[in-house]
């Protein structure tokens, strides 16, 4: 069905645009008014504040067609961030595609801890972002810690292309070495084979397979970036086995975790690093979200 009927020349006066779009999105989302205003702001290249302050806003015929196509994509089940092609994280705007996860506010806890730890040092530190996806962790750290040296890995070449685009956008591409590999690379494949990591960050796939198949996110975002195996810990085991050979003295590991797997992840970390300082941090919802391992 058409979104709105246009009468007259392009840039027709449409005072009910926002309310009509909100009504159309109501069956699709828990936040139809918010999503409608975000979508219209994207089409018009304006802020949401501007959209809400201008109920008399107008659309050209081209903008109307773009809005209709975007709305149809939402009705087919495509998430709004993919329709927009970008999403906010840590106050920054990241380009995304269906090849990468949609940035989520829970991951900001990891980034906050990482930046706070790195700010304690005056000399450059080496940071690894394992499973970088769109690059939000590595790039946010690079922007906030100008002297950090970074290694960002991902098994998906398509995801690395997105991350490299975002790094170029924020002028940090020359400070991040992107490597296609499963978790950590063969040292011979990186610029400095003698590299030791001071801070290892990872937001790995951590949803148990059976749980994932029953979630709305299944098949809407890349399964490769979500499926953590039978118990959600497959990649954590592999990474923690690899990590000791890479970590520098007095280094730190920060891992985002599935909120229901706090105890299991904590046990895994303690069995791998029996002498480390290990703790769990909760997110703003009071859920286990971040595993910290101090070596």
pLDDT tens digits for 131-155? 999 999 999 999 999 999 999 999 9
DSSP string, 79-91: -HHHHHTEEEETT
pLDDT, the chain, mean? 93
> Residue 278 CB: number of other CB atoms within 10 A?
19
CATH (one of 3.40.50.1970, 3.40.50.300, 3.40.50.150, 3.40.50.460) for 98-294:
3.40.50.150
Distance from C-alpha of 47 to C-alpha of 293, rounded to nearest angstrom = 40
Residue 243 tokens read as 């990590």
Q: Which of 47, 18, 49 is nearest to 32 (CA)?
A: 18
* Domain range summary for the chain, segments of one domain joined by +: 12-84, 98-294
State the DSSP code for 132.
-
- Cα-based distances in Å from 103 to 108, 203, 251: 9, 11, 26
pTM of the model: 0.92
Distance from C-alpha of 289 to C-alpha of 202, rounded to nearest angstrom = 12
Residue 84 tokens read as 């927009």
pLDDT exceeds 60 at position 1 = no
Residue whose entry in the numeric block shows the structure tokens 């590595």: 138
pLDDT exceeds 80 at position 236 = yes
pLDDT computed for residue 58 by the predictor: 81
pLDDT exceeds 80 at position 235 = yes
pLDDT tens digits for 50-104? 999 988 888 999 999 999 999 999 999 999 999 999 999 999 999 999 999 999 9
CATH (one of 1.10.357.10, 1.10.8.10, 3.40.50.9100, 3.40.50.261) for 12-84:
1.10.8.10
């Amino acid at each position: 069905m058409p979104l709105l009927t246009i009468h007259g020349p392009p840039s027709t006066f449409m005072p009910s645009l926002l309310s009509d779009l909100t009504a159309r999105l109501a069956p699709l989302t828990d936040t139809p008014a918010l999503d409608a205003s975000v979508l219209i702001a994207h089409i018009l290249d304006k802020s949401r504040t501007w959209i809400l302050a201008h109920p008399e806003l107008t659309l050209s015929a081209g903008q109307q067609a773009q809005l209709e196509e975007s709305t149809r994509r939402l009705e087919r089940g495509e998430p709004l961030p993919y329709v927009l092609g970008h999403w906010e994280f840590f106050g920054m705007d990241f380009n995304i595609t269906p090849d990468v996860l949609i940035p989520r506010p829970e991951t900001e806890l990891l980034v906050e801890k990482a930046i706070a730890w790195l700010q304690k040092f005056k000399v450059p530190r080496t940071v690894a972002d394992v499973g970088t996806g769109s690059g939000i962790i590595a790039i946010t750290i690079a922007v906030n810690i100008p002297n950090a040296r970074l290694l960002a890995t991902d098994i998906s070449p398509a995801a690395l292309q997105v991350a490299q685009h975002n790094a170029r956008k924020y002028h940090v591409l020359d400070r991040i070495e992107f490597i296609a590999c499963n978790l950590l690379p063969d040292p011979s494949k990186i610029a400095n084979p003698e590299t030791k990591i001071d801070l290892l960050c990872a937001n790995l796939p951590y949803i148990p397979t059976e749980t994932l198949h029953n979630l709305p996110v299944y098949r809407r975002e890349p399964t490769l970036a979500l499926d953590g195996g039978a118990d959600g810990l497959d990649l954590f085991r592999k990474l923690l086995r690899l990590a000791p050979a890479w970590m520098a003295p007095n280094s730190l590991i920060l891992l985002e975790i599935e909120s229901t797997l706090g105890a299991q992840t904590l046990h895994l970390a303690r069995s791998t690093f029996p002498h480390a300082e290990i703790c769990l941090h909760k997110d703003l919802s009071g859920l286990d979200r971040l595993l910290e391992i101090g070596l």
